[in-house]
Structure formats: C-alpha cells, structure tokens
Chain A
Amino acid sequence: MKHKIIISAAIALVILLLAVAIGSIFVHPWEIVRIILHRTLGLGCVEDISNANNAIIWNLRLPRVLLAFLVGAMLSVSGAIMQSVLRNPLASSFTLGVSSGASLGAALVLFTGLAFLPMMTLPVAGFAMGMATMVFAITLASRIDGMMENNTIILMGMVISMFINAVTTLLMALNREGVQRLIFWQLGSFSMQNWMPVVLLAPILLVGILVTLRYNRELDIMTFGEDNARTMGVNLRLVKWALLLIAAGLTGSAIAFVGIIGFIDLVAPHTVRRLFGSRHIVVIPLSAIFGGSLMVVADLVARTITPPNELPVGVVTALIGAPFFAYIYFVGRRRANA
C-alpha cells in the first residue's frame, strides 16, 4: 500500500509542475524547478531566465497552483471524514451549514464594508461564521438527542443551513449593489491570490491530516454504524465531535480564502475508496493528494480555456467531476464485484 501512496504523490508532483508551466506563456518545467530551487534554497543561478518569467512563476502561478492544491486537499479530507462519520455517502461539511454560515459572513462583510483586519476581514468572517454555524447545529442536535445520532445531526444541519441561506438571500435583496461581488465569491476562484493564504493553509492541512490519521481506526469502525462502534469500545461522542470539528475547520479555512467550491469533497474521497479500498489510513492521505491534484487541473482549465476570461472554478469542478465520478463509480463497482 505504501508504494501506491508514493506513486500517487509523484503523479501529483508532475501535475503541479505542468500546471505551473502552462498558461498564457509556457515556461519549461526545468526552468520552474530551477527558479524554485534558487528562491527557496539559493541554489544555482537563474540569470538566463527572463525577469518576466521569474516573476510570473514565483509571484503568480506557483502560489496560485499551490493554493488550489491545498484547498482541494482540505476539502477532500474534510469530505472523507464527513462521509464516514455521518455514514452518508452524500454528506459534507456543506451539509452541516459550514458554507451557508461562511456565505452569510461574507455577505455581512461585503454589504457593511466592515474591515477589522487588513486583507483578512472576509476570510476571518467566513471561517468564523462557517464554524459557528456547524457548532451550533451539532450542539443543538446533541441537546435534542443525547446519543448524537447521525440523522439528528444531518437534519439539524440542513434546517439551520436553509434558515441561514434565507437570511443571506434577504440581505442580498436589500443590498443590490454588493450582490455581484458576493455571487463572485460564492462561485469560488483562485485568481488574485498571493503567498499569504498558502503559508496559512499549509500547516492547517498538515495538522488536520495528522489528527485525522490518529483516528483512522475509529473512522473505519464508524462506517459500520454507531451502535457497532460503541460496543466495540469507541468513545463515540468524543471522537465524533473531534472529527466533525476537524472536517469543518478544514472546509471553513479553505473556503474562507477562495469562496465556495463544491463537488471535490464528494468526488475525491469516493474515487479513492473505489480505487484503493476503504481503510482510512490510506483514504485520508490519498484523498488529500487526489483532491488537491483534481483542483489544480480544474483551476488550470478554468484559467486557460477561455482566455483572457476566467471561468469560475466551481463550475469546472462540477463539469469535470461529475462524469469522472460516474465513470469511476460504475467501472470500479464492476471490477470490485468481478
């Protein structure tokens, strides 16, 4: 199993490199490697590479591609956790209100012109509101149902999501001039980014993956049902809270910077499970690698297919993701049963 992870990581690296190379100007991958080595480790000499290329690669494409990878990885790990914890193949952080909360946060910031932090107001508000919404949904669910059954949690998340969406829509109706910007944010985009979110998100992803791996067996066991997990010795309440918070934190911090991008969190973990089995010690790291790569490809398509305009990346993830998902699901199933 280890070599599968290594091969996948190698393929992901190639995809990353190609995504950085391709754009309005093609830059040779070897030049990219040299620029990276020079900038990070001070190795070699890059005087034969034009300043324009150097700047494009280091200031624009590299942070953008890395950010796409991080966001894709975070959403996928989050999706993998949610599907297993809630034992529902269609569950995601979005089901529990993270995205509607974040949208409301973004709407409040955009419509009121609030700015409590330079550059960071929108991401912080989005993250805080997204997390708060989910924590509120789960707290309410656990008050109503002491055993915290999945159906109660999902139902509560959906009810609160709908309510908050209604509030956001109400705000949109009252503030027509800011609507355009909010819709753009909701569609998701990696344009106009710099190194700052990359540096902030990378450690969050790393910690998220490590803590989730700590619970890999609990995740395995929980897919067989809650009563099962309890009688096998899993401290269900604790583990469930911990994992749901990690999942929401990953989604919340990812969408805080780039807006709401759907589908990756559904497609990537499912595909990984079909191809590599369901054990979470494999599913979690591979979801990160696969989801990250998928997002990089989606963003590459979004920025290159209709120059000079960019497509919203959320549209591309759905357009590529849906048929790919169908293919993997049905072909993979046939193979698994053969």
Chain B
Amino acid sequence: MLKLAGIFAGYGGADVVHDINLTLEKGENLAIIGPNGCGKTTLLKVIAGLLPFRGTVEFDGICASAMKPRARAAYVAMLGQISPVYFSYTVYDAVMMGRYLHNQGLLGIPSRADKDFVETCLATVNLADVRHRGLGTLSGGQLQRVFLARTLAQDPQIILLDEPTNHLDLKFQFELIDYLKNWAAEQNRTIVGVLHDISLAMRLSSNVMLMKEGRTAALGRADQVLDGKMLQDVYEVDVAGVMRETLAIWENLA
C-alpha cells in the first residue's frame, strides 16, 4: 500500500529527516511518535506531497512523484490541527468539498452519489443534525469533526493525521481516534498518525515508529520494540515513570 525508501527531506536545503524506510500493508495502521523536532510532521508532509524530498514514495507500487494531484489525493488525505476558517461555509458544504476529486463535472455540481456519500460521512461523525449551521458557529470539537467528515468524504486509501487532537478536550480526543480506527477497520484502510500524546498514539495503533533526530529509532509492535530505557533515551525523560506517577494520582482520587 505505502512504501517509503531512503527518504531525505527538510527545509531550505537542510535535511530534517534522514534515510527513512517504511512499508505498510493495506489495513495496517501506524503511530509515529517522538519528541518535538524529530521530523514526524516533515515525514507526513513528504507522504502527503507537500514537501520536496529525495528517495521514493510509492502507493501500490506507483511512484507518487509521477502522480497528478487528483490521483494522489485519491490515495492519501490529511487531517491536521484545526485550521482557521476565513470565510464561513455550512457544515454540509464543507464536507462536500471532500468529494472534489471524485467529481470531474465542468461546474462540479454534486451528483446523487456524492450527496449520499456526504450523508454517510455526516452520520459517521454525528453531525447530521447541524449540517446547515455555519462553521463559524461551531465549537472546536464540532469543527474538527467537520474536517474529519471532509477527510472521510475524500474516500482515500490512507489518512495521515498531523496532531489532529490538539486543542480538543479529552473526550473529543478519544472520540476522534475511535472514529478513525473504526473507519480503517471497516473499510480496510490505513491510518498513519503523528500524535503528541503517547497513550493516544497507542490507542490508535500498536504498530509504532519511534523517531529521534530525523531517524528511525524503533519500528514495529510497541510491546516488542519499545522499552522504558529506549523511551527515556529518546524523550530525555523517564516516560514510564511519569505515566506510573500520573496513574497513582488517579488511583488516589478513585
């Protein structure tokens, strides 16, 4: 499904990620973790086609660099942090935009199939009731669900997550990850997620890639490739210890 080989990329001539190799099968999820500045987002941008790179990115064996924007968008979509809305659209119109690449009509008037698809996406994220509201009137959690529905409407093979849970309450964070996991499981699709929060990352996938200074520090099933020593080494803090302390606080509350 997705293959990265010998990826180098960065900004203004300086490489931020070095020699990344990765293969994901259809239906397989991956959580990318690592401290700030380790190159997680840069790597996502390479996969999404937002950044020039050296090396190869392939979708189903097709070289991504040779793909037209629409063809590429049929493979890979991206859900980022909540982006500011400059001009207000209704929830429905915003989600319909996700159908862009599937509708080649001259004026892009939505087809019956597009409308049905959008309805399904709205229902999936529980937004059907607010479909006619303006984006400007929504809460942060609702707004991010609109963007999620739009990403689902794009119907891609892979969804890239770039810290989509930032600025969301705990409840919405879990909700968002669960929506996505269900979607991937039901449709046999792939999610590659960069998540700040390690426990949230583990909730998304037990398949992890740990990055340090632009390189792969560990790749595989979390219980097999990660250990306390390694996390402490990469994050420069005793991650497991902090987690245990936090847990103790909650247990005292209970």
Residues on A facing B (Cβ under 8 Å): 84, 87, 89, 146, 213-214, 216-218, 220-221, 223-225, 227-228, 230-236, 273, 277-279, 281, 336-337
Contacts and interface: CB of A to CB of B under 8 A. Distances in A.
Given A231-B49, A337-B137, A217 B88 contact: no
Contacts of A233: 69-70, 72-74, 100-101, 154
A336 B88 contact: yes
Given A227-B78, A231-B48, A220 B101 contact: no
B108 A216 contact: yes
A223 B87 contact: yes
Contacts of B86: 87, 89, 223
Given A231-B77, A233-B70, A277 B88 contact: yes
A232 B97 contact: yes
A214 B89 contact: no
Contacts, number: 84
B93 A220 contact: yes
B89 A278 contact: yes
B interface, size bucket? 35 or more
Top-6 shortest CB links A-B: A233-B73, A233-B101, A278-B87, A233-B70, A231-B78, A217-B108
B50 interface: yes
Nearest to B102: A233
Contact of A337 (B45, B74, B136): B136
A interface SS class: helix
B87 A273 contact: yes
A213 B83 CA distance: 25
A270 B59 CA distance: 42
Contacts of B50: 227, 230-231
B102 to A, nearest CB: 9
B98 A213 contact: no
B66 interface: no
Nearest to B98: A232
B interface SS class: mixed
A150 to B, nearest CB: 11
B106 interface: yes
B69 A214 contact: no
B97 A336 contact: no
Nearest to A219: B87
A89 B52 CA distance: 30
Of B86, B89, B90, chain A has the most CB atoms within 10 Å of the CB of B86
13 contacts: A84-B87, A218-B100, A221-B97, A224-B85, A231-B76, A231-B160, A232-B73, A232-B154, A233-B73, A233-B100, A234-B69, A235-B68, A277-B89
B117 to A, nearest CB: 15
Contact of B134 (A216, A227, A236, A336): A336
B107 interface: yes
Contact of A336 (B49, B98, B103, B137): B137
B136 A221 contact: no
Contact of A220 (B76, B78, B89, B106): B89
A217 B89 contact: no
A269 to B, nearest CB: 10
B140 interface: no
Contacts of B98: 232
Contacts of B93: 220, 277, 279
A225 B83 contact: yes
Interface in B98-119: 98, 100-101, 103, 106-108
A220 B45 CA distance: 22
A273 B108 CA distance: 20
A336 B83 contact: no
Contact of B83 (A89, A228, A234, A273): A228
Given A228-B83, A234-B100, A146 B69 contact: no
A212 B31 CA distance: 41
Contacts of B77: 231-232
B80 interface: yes
A169 B45 CA distance: 46
B107 to A, nearest CB: 6
